[in-house]
Chain A
């Protein structure tokens, strides 16, 4: 069975990331950022990706990375989730990086690992592992087509574009981008159009895209875990100090029992997110096939199941946590001047990102041999 705990190194990493985020991304700054023109916080990105070296964690040292694994990246994702930090980490340091690792690409990978370049996979953010991608044509070293709702599309310097069965790198300057007013303005979307944009073939076949989406979904579960924990922590702190009818509102069972249930779901979210991270960290991304239910503990064989379970569970937990956070803060939780709406928008967007819970349960139907009616 995989190790589901956190190592000492991982705890140290968490402390360093949290320190930077507490300093550079308090919620007041995150909220202010949602109304600025800049699509992400460039100074924060330089601190997290560059100075702390978080972007290159799963990249081998000889390719410019830190030679760690996706388990450590997952810890960074938890902290970024806690703060709803507006940085293109999931897009560039996770999804695009996973695509390039799977493709065996070296040059661009090194630049992503340093945080010096931002690349994103040009697919709608709602795309689940195994889903089809938008129709983009590739011919004579150029791509043509339109892709909507690309996460961090305005932040990207390079797009990794699935086109005609291959994966192509396209300079963002050669694409036409339209900023989207997004539900979650801490991770903004863009509609992207390519018309004969010069493109370099990075990988043949669908494997790199599939690996990217599967890794992205696994890491997203850790982001959702961190976000849910933040919602619970803030809510528990608030209900202890908010008095109505002469008592802290947190002394009423109507709230206590819901918070106990939420805490229990979060302990489960931690276990499934750690398991998914361990599975992708163990290397191969072949995924399970049909037949009777794949047994846990076989490392890479179980990745597809682990990721689907993690997404189906953690998406729902993060949304529940954010919804309870709004409700239990009462009137102030419904205002723009309180961070609860940042958590709610991120949680709801995350639950659609990389496949809804229902989409992941449908994947399990095949993986666990529980066919539909």
Chain B
């Protein structure tokens, strides 16, 4: 075992060695992925023995590229975004050695998909108000409650779950965080249909679900701190991949504008050019943010990026429907589909318009993001919190 973490050159050597020993095009993909994990080449910034080598996180893209270029099997990260982006860093930060050993490897290889049991009908932006109860019963906990907006719950093997364990203290203090077995008795997943007609996500009912105490993440009552780690990682994941000019929704509308001259009107021309400029400004801002991260100067600009993305998507998708005129009155399919991922381009303009409405709600509403920017970036006074010192059980619900 080396003592110093490997540098770019050393990683390149190790990837080459690994690929020489494991033919990427032959054999069982799962075996390949497990071997890659065991070689520390899964996520190189994780510790040795847990899929990494303790290398800088910035070296990961080069490793991924090398595997992709070799035609290596993929762990389909798009199917396990919550597992990779949120559950894994939380387990790494708060899990016991046994939990890390048990959960991280099948999570990374994609054998086990994860979902997130956080939001509730009564606790959306105010997550800490949640009321799903976990009551201790010997070596286990009994959980009762309802969760919503749970993507992938119908495919997930495990969930990260945050519960109320002490209703007699103020809300932030009485929470506890668990790993929940989605196949356990009492876990019922029902599709939650959206305004688009499809059901990307679910509501999850938990009725007398037994969770062994060894599946607790962090201390009893520490659930808010653990959740904060999860949510911070959610925001790190936002920022997105580098996109070319006219990538995304504006490209669809620009192509329509070019192909269908008969649809053009002066007011829509102005709206299109405004949206084009706004999209380009957001794209360059994302590029600048990536340059800042690469240069080791992370800035707070990422919090603005999601705000801008939601606004542009909504404007541009609305513009597309207007531009289409009569065709904008038609929709492709109202049946309840169960898509594994959101794909704006493969569905109709009406779908894009409706789906974009979720962009300013999911992953932090635009209103909450504006509060975060105002308070954490600009240093403006926080919201008045009337519930701060009130026991959770006495809060108006």
Residues of chain B within 8 A (CB-CB) of A364 are 273, 276-277
Complexed CA–CA distance, A12 and B382 (Å): 35
Binding-face segment, B40-48, B61-69, B282-290: B282-290
**Residue from the set A247, A268, A275, A295 with the largest chain B CB neighbour count within 10 Å:** A268
Check B280–A272 contact: CB distance below 8 A.
yes
How far, in Å, is A234 (CB) from chain B's closest CB? 12
Check B281–A259 contact: CB distance below 8 A.
no
Complexed CA–CA distance, A240 and B378 (Å): 10
Select which of B269, B288, B297 is within 8 A of A370 by beta carbon.
B269
Check B288–A5 contact: CB distance below 8 A.
yes
Complexed CA–CA distance, A296 and B246 (Å): 10
Check A373–B265 contact: CB distance below 8 A.
yes
Check B287–A271 contact: CB distance below 8 A.
yes
**Per-position binary interface string of chain B over residues 364-377, scored 1 when its CB falls under 8 Å from any chain A CB and 0 otherwise:** 00010111011101
Check B367–A271 contact: CB distance below 8 A.
no
Check A271–B380 contact: CB distance below 8 A.
no
Give the total number of A-B pairs whose CB atoms are below 8 A apart.
142
Complexed CA–CA distance, A239 and B288 (Å): 29
Check A361–B277 contact: CB distance below 8 A.
yes
Check B371–A256 contact: CB distance below 8 A.
yes
Select which of B268, B291, B369 is within 8 A of A4 by beta carbon.
B291
Check B281–A313 contact: CB distance below 8 A.
yes
Select which of B277, B292, B379 is within 8 A of A312 by beta carbon.
B277
Check A270–B288 contact: CB distance below 8 A.
yes
Residues of chain B within 8 A (CB-CB) of A358 are 270
**Per-position binary interface string of chain A over residues 356-369, scored 1 when its CB falls under 8 Å from any chain B CB and 0 otherwise:** 00100110110011
Residues of chain A within 8 A (CB-CB) of B264 are 371-373
A260 within 8 A of B: yes
17 more A-B residue pairs beyond the given contacts A261-B370, A372-B269, A373-B269, with a C-beta to C-beta distance below 8 A: A4-B284, A240-B380, A248-B380, A257-B374, A259-B374, A260-B371, A263-B377, A267-B301, A270-B288, A271-B281, A271-B284, A271-B285, A274-B288, A293-B245, A365-B273, A370-B258, A372-B266
Complexed CA–CA distance, A13 and B286 (Å): 26
How far, in Å, is B132 (CB) from chain A's closest CB? 29
Residues of chain A within 8 A (CB-CB) of B384 are 247, 251
Check B277–A309 contact: CB distance below 8 A.
yes
Complexed CA–CA distance, A250 and B374 (Å): 9
Residue of A nearest to B287 (CB): A1
Residues of chain B within 8 A (CB-CB) of A267 are 285, 301, 304
Check B380–A251 contact: CB distance below 8 A.
yes
Which residues from 228 to 259 on chain B have a C-beta closer than 8 Å to any C-beta of chain A? 244-246, 254, 257-258
B21 within 8 A of A: no
Residues of chain A within 8 A (CB-CB) of B301 are 267
Main secondary structure of the interface of A (DSSP, over half): helix
B20 within 8 A of A: no
B274 within 8 A of A: yes
Residues of chain B within 8 A (CB-CB) of A248 are 380-381
Residue of B nearest to A274 (CB): B288
A–B Cβ pairs within 8 angstroms, 5 of them: A5-B288, A260-B370, A269-B281, A295-B245, A312-B274
**Per-position binary interface string of chain A over residues 281-305, scored 1 when its CB falls under 8 Å from any chain B CB and 0 otherwise:** 0000000000001111000000000
Residues of chain A within 8 A (CB-CB) of B370 are 253, 256-257, 260-261
Q: A296-B245, A309-B280, A364-B276 are in contact. Are A264 and B308 (CB under 8 A)?
A: yes
A236 within 8 A of B: yes
How far, in Å, is B49 (CB) from chain A's closest CB? 37
Check B272–A256 contact: CB distance below 8 A.
no
Residues of chain B within 8 A (CB-CB) of A295 are 244-245
Check A361–B280 contact: CB distance below 8 A.
no
Complexed CA–CA distance, A296 and B292 (Å): 19
Check A370–B379 contact: CB distance below 8 A.
no
Residue of B nearest to A232 (CB): B378
A62 within 8 A of B: no
Residue of B nearest to A363 (CB): B273
Select which of A263, A312, A369 is within 8 A of B373 by beta carbon.
A263
Complexed CA–CA distance, A312 and B280 (Å): 11
Check B304–A293 contact: CB distance below 8 A.
no
How far, in Å, is B285 (CB) from chain A's closest CB? 4
Residues of chain B within 8 A (CB-CB) of A293 are 245-246, 254
How far, in Å, is A250 (CB) from chain B's closest CB? 4
B295 within 8 A of A: yes
How far, in Å, is A256 (CB) from chain B's closest CB? 4
Residues of chain A within 8 A (CB-CB) of B377 are 260, 263
Check A4–B269 contact: CB distance below 8 A.
no
B307 within 8 A of A: yes
Residue of B nearest to A310 (CB): B281
Residues of chain B within 8 A (CB-CB) of A370 are 254, 257-258, 269, 272-273, 276
Check B379–A236 contact: CB distance below 8 A.
yes
A3 within 8 A of B: yes
Residues of chain A within 8 A (CB-CB) of B287 are 1, 4, 271
How far, in Å, is B298 (CB) from chain A's closest CB? 12
Residue of B nearest to A368 (CB): B276
**Per-position binary interface string of chain A over residues 51-84, scored 1 when its CB falls under 8 Å from any chain B CB and 0 otherwise:** 0000000000000000000000000000000000
Q: A5-B288, A368-B254 are in contact. Are A361 and B273 (CB under 8 A)?
A: yes
Q: A240-B379, A253-B371, A268-B282 are in contact. Are A263 and B304 (CB under 8 A)?
A: yes
Residue of A nearest to B367 (CB): A257
Check B378–A263 contact: CB distance below 8 A.
yes
Select which of A4, A259, A275 is within 8 A of B380 by beta carbon.
A259
Check A268–B254 contact: CB distance below 8 A.
no
